[in-house]
């Protein structure tokens, strides 16, 4: 079983670099909630994903020792991520964060400890979905010349990055320091006219919200899909973009400042 090859590297330069130490546990949480969690966005955004899933219904639990425990639920052509693995049809257990991360990189094959009868979903539709996700996140793809593909790719990447920020803020040593300086509230991220996401901060712990609430405490928005893509790819610097007005921020700016510091660590993990 090989679910995802190495996740395409995010280019350097979009945000400023910091201390380069990373850890396997934080990476495991990113791989669970941002990368595999990215399948939720894939199924919402990419029509091919719906075609792959058809009417299939299955849930896959990932139980990582000393790491994340979560389940991907595929039903009605959509995918949702829930905490815990008790109810999953298929259960994959990992003895360490390292092994889970190796699976994401296609270097380790877990054996299901539950749901062997549904293994065909794992090896078939699920594998196709992860291949599709990988294609959408690949930054060097010629397909990016196609506006429609670039748009979908950017929207999926947007969700992956925001989800990764939450995990880095919660588990990474330096990210946690930044999070310790974020006051409680809700931070909205938006690609104007295309996508919104929000992180809730409570007691310096970050949670990706399912929907953006009306009352937020700060926001960071990208003028359009191209501006967002250029920043994600490192073609434009975010600080310059603030001056140019293609990135806007408001509200409690210290929240945004610290989120940007966390965001700058995403590339260290997703390389």
Least Cβ distance, residue 216 to other proteins (angstroms):
7
Does the protein bind other proteins through residue 185 (CB under 8 A)? yes
Of 17 and 271, which has the nearer Cβ to other proteins? 17
Least Cβ distance, residue 29 to other proteins (angstroms):
18
Query: From residue 230 to residue 259, what is the string marking binding to other proteins with x (rule CB under 8 A)?
Result: -------x-xx-xxxx--xxxxxxx---x-
How far apart are the C-alpha atoms of 255 and 187, rounded to whole Å?
A: 7
Least Cβ distance, residue 251 to other proteins (angstroms):
4
**Region 12-41 residues binding other proteins, contact defined as CB under 8 A:** 16-19, 21
Does the protein bind other proteins through residue 170 (CB under 8 A)? no
Least Cβ distance, residue 7 to other proteins (angstroms):
23
Does the protein bind other proteins through residue 223 (CB under 8 A)? no
Does the protein bind other proteins through residue 203 (CB under 8 A)? no
Does the protein bind other proteins through residue 218 (CB under 8 A)? yes
SS3 category, 78: strand
Residue 69 CA to its chain's centroid (Å): 16
CB 48 within 8 A of CB 111: no
Q: Residue 64 to residues 111, 141, 172, 228: CA-CA distances in angstroms?
A: 13, 32, 17, 33
Burial class (CB in 10 A: 0-12, 13-18, 19+), 116: exposed
Of 160 and 252, which has the nearer Cβ to other proteins? 252
Least Cβ distance, residue 194 to other proteins (angstroms):
20
Angle at 47 between CA 193 and CA 187, to 5 degrees: 35
Segment interacting with other proteins, rule: CB under 8 A, options 104-112, 121-129, 171-179, 223-231: 171-179
Within 8 A by CB and 6+ apart from 1, the residues are: 103, 109, 110, 122, 123, 127
Q: Residue 61 to residues 6, 66, 73, 220: CA-CA distances in angstroms?
A: 21, 15, 9, 33
Does the protein bind other proteins through residue 264 (CB under 8 A)? yes
How far apart are the C-alpha atoms of 169 and 248, rounded to whole Å?
A: 22
Contacts with other proteins, residue ranges (CB under 8 A): 16-19, 21, 174-175, 177-178, 185, 216-218, 237, 239-240, 242-245, 248-254, 258, 261-262, 264
């Amino acid at each position: 079983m090989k679910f995802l090859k190495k996740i395409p590297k995010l280019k350097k330069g979009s945000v400023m670099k910091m201390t380069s130490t990373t850890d396997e546990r934080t990476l495991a949480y990113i791989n669970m909630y941002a990368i595999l969690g990215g399948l939720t966005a894939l199924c919402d955004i990419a029509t091919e994903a719906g075609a792959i899933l058809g009417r299939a219904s299955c849930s896959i639990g990932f139980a990582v020792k000393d790491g994340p425990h979560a389940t991907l639920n595929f039903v009605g052509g959509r995918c949702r991520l829930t905490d815990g693995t008790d109810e999953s049809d298929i259960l994959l257990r990992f003895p360490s964060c390292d092994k889970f991360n190796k699976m994401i990189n296609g270097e380790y094959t877990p054996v299901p400890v539950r749901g062997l009868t549904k293994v065909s979903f794992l090896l078939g539709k699920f594998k196709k979905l992860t291949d599709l996700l990988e294609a959408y996140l690949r930054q060097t793809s010629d397909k990016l010349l196609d506006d429609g593909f670039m748009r979908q790719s950017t929207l999926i990447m947007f969700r992956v990055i925001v989800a990764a920020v939450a995990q880095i803020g919660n588990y990474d040593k330096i990210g946690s320091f930044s999070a310790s300086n974020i006051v409680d509230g809700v931070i909205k991220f938006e690609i104007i006219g295309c996508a919104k996401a929000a992180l809730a901060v409570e007691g310096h712990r970050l949670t990706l919200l399912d929907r953006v609430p009306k009352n937020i405490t700060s926001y960071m928005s990208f003028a359009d899909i191209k501006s967002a893509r250029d920043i994600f790819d490192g073609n434009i610097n975010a600080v310059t973009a603030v001056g140019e007005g293609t990135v806007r921020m408001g509200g409690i700016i210290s929240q945004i400042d610290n989120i940007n510091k966390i965001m700058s660590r995403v590339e260290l993990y997703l390389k």
